[in-house]
Amino acid sequence: MAKKTIPNNSFDRRAKRVERRRLRRKRNQRRNILALALAAGLIFFSGRFIISHLSNNSSAQSSLPESQITIVQGADDPAAKEEKGTGKDREIKYMTSKEAQSKRLLPRTEKKQADSYQSQLDTFLVTNQDVILYNRDSIKSTEVAALPKNTVVETYGHQDGWTKVTSVGREGYIRDEYLDVISDASQFVVVDGHLIVNASYGISTDYETVFHEDAAAALRVMTEAMERDGVKVEVATTYRSAADEAKELVLEGNPDHAPQPGHAVFQTGLGVKFYVEGTDPRMDNAFEKTAAFKWLKDHAHEYGFVLRYPQGSETITGYRADPTIFVYVGIEDASIISNEGLTLEVFYGVQ
């Protein structure tokens, strides 16, 4: 299967955003159909008219010139069917390190920050000297922390000479001139507020963060819901550093085609690894055959989590399938990814 790269022009990025909006509209259409199915008489016939109208709009969109259509790999993609194959005879061709290297983009030279403060992740920048993180955009405000030179921070827009940032879970503000771009465009790739980490794109091994508070809250609510449904599951891992990731790989016997330090979802502070009580999370315990996995597969998206390395996605993610690893992306995106049977790479338009 031919490998795809991140689009280098704004037109392709807009096209992918259009495709994601189409998927959201498709999900909303399904909800409308269910509601209309419960109606009777005139409402029923009116519903049929609305569905037909929406279907015509969708068909009109797909009839755009080829240059304006974003192709999403799904169950109906012949290439995908050929690649997936059937059963244990399916041949998986993993990306080589040389192929991953060839996918790298040109070095970054611009910060490309939003021109106002926002709640959505903007980009990642690095401090060019020892700096102070303030709790407001003023040197007269309270000092939150001292950050050494070469500290990578998450940014959330800038204004009036200040950038809103987060560093190891601490939120604050830093003067714009103390922050530089990360020149390696294969590191810290952000699409629509989401950090993409796979075989091609990673993060520096010295980057540190914490388990994201939104992911932590969603995980707590989700596991409580599982307990109410009589399903038990244990959490093996949330956040771990690159050094801890390297140690974990050794304990697991250095498995082939597993995420390496700098490319593991756990280093983003958004990944979660599950196992069931009485098993060793470092071993293959057929988690995909458990009631816990079935529950997660059916309901995790309702809490913002999706399966990170599903069966059949090896050539896209660059790693072996793993039923135990989920990642938090938020309820809206997770619902579309799960309902449409997509991977993060396909949904966010990167490979």
Residue 26 and residue 81 in one domain: yes
What is the average pLDDT score of the chain?
82
Integer Cα distance of 268 and 194 in angstroms? 10
- Is 208 within a domain? no
Residue 217 and residue 152 in one domain: no
Sign of torsion over alpha carbons 69, 24, 193, 216: negative
Residue 234 and residue 179 in one domain: no
Asked if 155 and 123 count as a contact pair (C-beta separation under 8 A), the reply is yes
C-alpha pair distances (Å), 49 with each of 41, 52, 58: 13, 5, 14
Length of the chain: 351
Residue 103's closest CA among 256, 318, 257? 318
Q: Which of 1-5, 69-73, 88-92, 253-257 has the lowest average pLDDT?
A: 69-73
Residue 66 and residue 178 in one domain: no
Helix H or strand E segment including 305: strand 305-309
Residues forming a β-bridge with 20: none
- The CATH number of the domain holding residue 286 is 3.30.1380.10
Q: Which two tokens stand for residue 317?
A: 């993610």
Integer Cα distance of 218 and 233 in angstroms? 15
User: For residue 34, is pLDDT > 90?
Assistant: no
What's residue 129's pLDDT? 98
* End-of-domain residue from the set 183, 202, 226: 183
pLDDT, one tens digit per residue, over 117-151 is: 999 999 999 999 999 999 999 999 999 999 999 99
Judged by DSSP in three states, 248 sits in: helix
Helix H or strand E segment including 189: strand 189-191
Sign of torsion over alpha carbons 217, 219, 223, 226: positive
- Is 109 within a domain? no
Integer Cα distance of 52 and 7 in angstroms? 34
- Percent pLDDT > 90 in the chain is 63
Residue 44 and residue 98 in one domain: yes
Residue 146's closest CA among 172, 183, 109? 172
Total of domains in the chain: 3
Query: If DSSP states are collapsed to H, E and C, what string results for 200-211?
Result: CCECCCCCCCCC
- Is 40 within a domain? yes
What's residue 283's pLDDT? 87
- Which residue range(s) make up the domain with 344? 213-348
Helix H or strand E segment including 24: helix 10-37
What's residue 314's pLDDT? 92
> Hey, what long-range contacts does 258-264 have (CB within 8 A, 24 or more apart)?
258/319, 258/320, 259/197, 259/198, 259/199, 259/319, 261/205, 262/202, 262/203, 262/204, 262/205, 263/197, 263/198, 263/199, 263/201, 263/202, 263/203, 264/197, 264/240
pTM of the shown model: 0.74
Q: Which two tokens stand for residue 187?
A: 């590191």
Tally the C-alpha atoms within 13 A of residue 147's C-alpha that lie toward its C-beta. 32
pLDDT, one tens digit per residue, over 263-295 is: 999 999 999 999 999 898 888 889 999 999 999
What's residue 271's pLDDT? 98
Residues forming a β-bridge with 195: 190
Residue 67's closest CA among 9, 6, 106, 3? 9
- Is 289 within a domain? yes
* End-of-domain residue from the set 134, 167, 183: 183
Residue 286 backbone phi and psi in degrees, to 5: 55, 45
Higher-confidence position of 202 and 48: 202
Q: Which two tokens stand for residue 49?
A: 């008219």
pLDDT, one tens digit per residue, over 60-119 is: 333 333 333 232 333 334 334 334 333 445 566 665 555 655 555 688 999 989 999 999
